[in-house]
Structure 1
Amino acid sequence: MAAIATTAHSHPMSLATIESCFGPLYSSFGVYIEGQLQGFAISHQIFEDATLMDICIAPDSQGLGLGRSLLDSVIKSASEKGAETLFLEVRESGIAARALYIKDGFSETGRRKGYYRTGDGSEDAILMELSLIR
């Protein structure tokens, strides 16, 4: 997971952070091609609130619908565990990710100004949420 994150994200979660996401409040999901991990998602849930912590696809496997598959798994799992809302944040520059989230019904609910580091400064985090009450 850390190797994929390093190649897919400009500022990936550290190995220690990824390792800390394995516990009773977390769920992890993977997508494989020919037995090789090509992407993952990590979610965190406390009672009715679930948060997508990370979703990541190896660069060579992007554009194959794997991100959609992972997001669908996260949404289904959160719903089955009683979540009412799924939250996430995404870099302002994450155009493809934002398009995926919007297509799945997420709406922008706020911003964190200058939250993410970039090579030459910072960029906003866009806060999004999806109601799971249907």
Structure 2
Amino acid sequence: MSIQPKVEVCTLDIDASSQMAHIASLAHSHPMSLATIKTCFGKLYTSLGVYQEGELQGFAILHQIFEDATLMDICINPKFQGRGLGSMLLEQVIALASKGEAETLLLEVRDSGSAAKNLYLRHGFQISGHRKDYYKTDDGTEDAVLMELKLSR
């Protein structure tokens, strides 16, 4: 019988921004900068972290203005991907947006991000549009897929 490592999701403060930037640099080809991450703290933002055995392994940034909430980023350290941490974090983001009386949770994902798109689809998101050439890549640009989740109130 193996013992499952302790996993918890909690709110992050700006002191975690360096760790968040490090995880983003491991997980994304063109991550948010530390300076940008630091701007994602304040009354319109909530950052959640997923900890495994006391170490931050991923994070999500939620931005909410009135009835619209946007998932700005969700990121799991590549060494810990595929273990359900992203799903756990996304479920907490959805719950937080609902609690904040958001009607819709919006996000953008790289067109090539099939694992991410599948995660969102499994959680009830629908594709709502595209943005041509939205993301930078090493050899040009890539489209963004817009997705949304209607939240019950």
TM-score normalized with structure 2 length: 0.86
Q: Cα RMSD between the aligned structures?
A: 0.7
Q: Give the Cα separation in 2 of the matches to 1:99 and 1:121.
A: 24
SS in 2 for 1:97: helix
Offset at 1:33? 1.1
Which residue is 2:136 aligned to?
Answer: 117
User: Radius of gyration: which is bigger?
Assistant: 2
Which residue is 1:24 aligned to?
Answer: 43
Select the residue among 25, 30, 53 that pairs with 1:6. Answer: 25
Indicate yes or no: 2:58 matched with 1:39: yes
Q: Give the Cα separation in 2 of the matches to 1:62 and 1:114.
A: 27
> In structure 1, what residue type is equivalent to 2:150?
S
4+ residue runs over 6 A deviation: none
TM-score normalized with structure 1 length: 0.98
> In structure 1, what residue type is equivalent to 2:125?
F
Q: Give the Cα separation in 2 of the matches to 1:51 and 1:92.
A: 18
Q: Give the Cα separation in 1 of the matches to 2:59 and 2:79.
A: 14
Offset at 1:85? 0.3
What 5-or-longer segments of structure 1 have no aligned partner? none
Give the total of aligned pairs.
134
Offset at 1:133? 2.0
What 5-or-longer segments of structure 2 have no aligned partner? 1-19
Indicate yes or no: 2:117 matched with 1:98: yes
Offset at 1:24? 0.2
> In structure 1, what residue type is equivalent to 2:117?
R
Indicate yes or no: 2:82 matched with 1:63: yes
1:46-91, Cα deviation, whole Å (9 max, x unpaired): 0110000000000100000000011000000000010000000000
Offset at 1:34? 1.2
